[in-house]
Amino acid sequence: MRDFLCHNCGQRLSFENSQCLNCKKELGFWLPTRTIYTLDDKQQTEIDGTLVERCENTKVAQCNWLVTWTGTPTLCESCRLTRTRPQDTDVEAMAEYGRAETAKRRLILELDELGLPIIGRDENPETGLAFDLLSSSQQSVITGHDNGLITLDLAEGDDVHREQLRVELEEPYRTLLGHFRHEIGHYYQLVLIDDKVRARFEELFGNPDDDYQAALDRHYSEGAPEGWTQNYVSSYATMHPAEDYAETFAHYLHIRDTLDTAAAFAMAPAGSTLESVLPGDVGFEQLIDWWLPLTWALNQINRSMGHPDLYPFVLPPAVLDKIRFVHNLMSST
């Protein structure tokens, strides 16, 4: 994530800011230029001759993104991908929905910066990308992916609920953004894995057509196999080749966004930004050379504050090969 500044007073801004805390100017993020702009009293501004205004979801989802002015309320590139959300009358679920949309906007920006195709269900009704953001307080909700449709249990936005699940499932890491990055990995398996790379995919991850229900039953009855840490980035990745790929894809997004943020604040080389990393094996080796010392330092900083490691993972050679595969996929998009 890049370092943003208020165009009016120069105050540093967070990606999520909708108002400058220094000069109180209203703000909006414009995806085509990946920049935050200050707005006038009508919450509008002109960018390269285009009049823009706030997304229709400004209030219901705390959305600070901008859309082209059309005279009628319009959803931004991220919000329009949401197919289903809670009713306005469900106050608790709507608060959770706002947190989910905030995480989703960070995801969509990273996908855009990586140059990955984002095709919604308006363009492809069968396998286009869409999100159902649902509250499990009123119904049973299972977070998952089905032919481009990502379902998320909004309860994952509640810190206590999510931490309880993390401990129960013995996971080292569990976040709302992590869920989005994992599920989008399933979507990009459909988009990016074609006949040209299928053989290498199966060599690294296994056959994605293996019986999923059987794998699920085996995983929850037997757990991860002994010695799994030598070949998988997480215990959940051991369940099925599709889950292994999704976990690996999510991990790649973790690496790229964190390095990009570190570079923005001079904690990593300028060349490690999302727009600068070289394609292919050379670029991947450089990426890991930057990543490992950064995570070591971040873990030590967390420990100095009495917190658990920020990055509780180990990357053995087999896992690095899988992440390299994802990196090289990006080079071909």
CA distance 30 to 107: 15
30: pLDDT confidence band, cut at 50, 70 and 90?
A: very high
CA distance 303 to 310: 9
Structure confidence at residue 155 (pLDDT):
80
165: pLDDT confidence band, cut at 50, 70 and 90?
A: low
Structure confidence at residue 138 (pLDDT):
75
Distances in whole angstroms, Cα of residue 250 to Cα of each of 71, 220, 284, 314: 38, 22, 16, 15
Least confident range from 8-12, 105-109, 133-137: namely 133-137
Q: What's the whole-number average pLDDT of the chain?
A: 91
Both structure tokens of 169: 């499932």
Quick: pLDDT tens for 261-279: 999 988 888 888 887 888 8
Contacts 24+ apart (CB under 8 A), 206-214: 206/240, 206/241, 206/244, 207/241, 208/240, 208/241, 208/242, 208/245, 210/240, 210/241, 212/240, 212/242
* Half-sphere exposure in the Cβ direction for 232 (13 Å, CA): 22
**Composition of the chain by helix, strand, coil, percent to 5:** 45, 15, 40
Which region holds residue 300: left if phi is over 0, alpha if psi is between -120 and 50, else beta?
alpha
The total number of residues written for the chain in this structure:
333
Spatial neighbors of 118 by CB under 8 A, at least 6 apart, are: 77, 81, 108, 111, 112, 129
7: pLDDT confidence band, cut at 50, 70 and 90?
A: very high
pTM confidence score:
0.92
Structure confidence at residue 245 (pLDDT):
97
129: pLDDT confidence band, cut at 50, 70 and 90?
A: very high
Look at 175 and 241; give whichever has higher pLDDT.
241
- In single-letter form, the type of residue at position 79 comes to C
Residue at token pair 């049973």: 140
Stretch 11-33: mean pLDDT, rounded?
Answer: 95
Look at 280 and 246; give whichever has higher pLDDT.
246
Least confident range from 29-43, 93-107, 116-130, 261-275: namely 261-275
Stretch 123-139: mean pLDDT, rounded?
Answer: 90
326: pLDDT confidence band, cut at 50, 70 and 90?
A: very high
Structure confidence at residue 22 (pLDDT):
96
Both structure tokens of 291: 């990543």
Both structure tokens of 137: 């307080």
Structure confidence at residue 278 (pLDDT):
82
Stretch 32-46: mean pLDDT, rounded?
Answer: 94
Structure confidence at residue 161 (pLDDT):
64
Structure confidence at residue 56 (pLDDT):
93
Exposure string of 221-258, with b = 16+ CB inside 10 Å and e = fewer, is eeebeeeebebbbbbbbbbbbbbbbbbbbbbbbbbbbb
Spatial neighbors of 172 by CB under 8 A, at least 6 apart, are: 234, 312, 313
Angle between helices 195-205 and 241-264 (to 10 degrees): 100
The DSSP-derived string for 301-328 is HHHHTTPPPSS-----HHHHHHHHHHHH
215: pLDDT confidence band, cut at 50, 70 and 90?
A: very high
CA distance 27 to 40: 9
Least confident range from 137-146, 180-189, 235-244, 289-298: namely 137-146
Residue 142: exposure state from Cβ atoms within 10 A (0-12, 13-18, ≥19): exposed
On whether the CB atoms of residues 234 and 171 are closer than 8 A, the answer is yes
Both structure tokens of 246: 């999704």
Quick: pLDDT tens for 152-161: 988 876 666 6
CA distance between the termini of the chain? 21
On whether the CB atoms of residues 98 and 65 are closer than 8 A, the answer is no
Answer whether residue 246 shows pLDDT above 90: yes
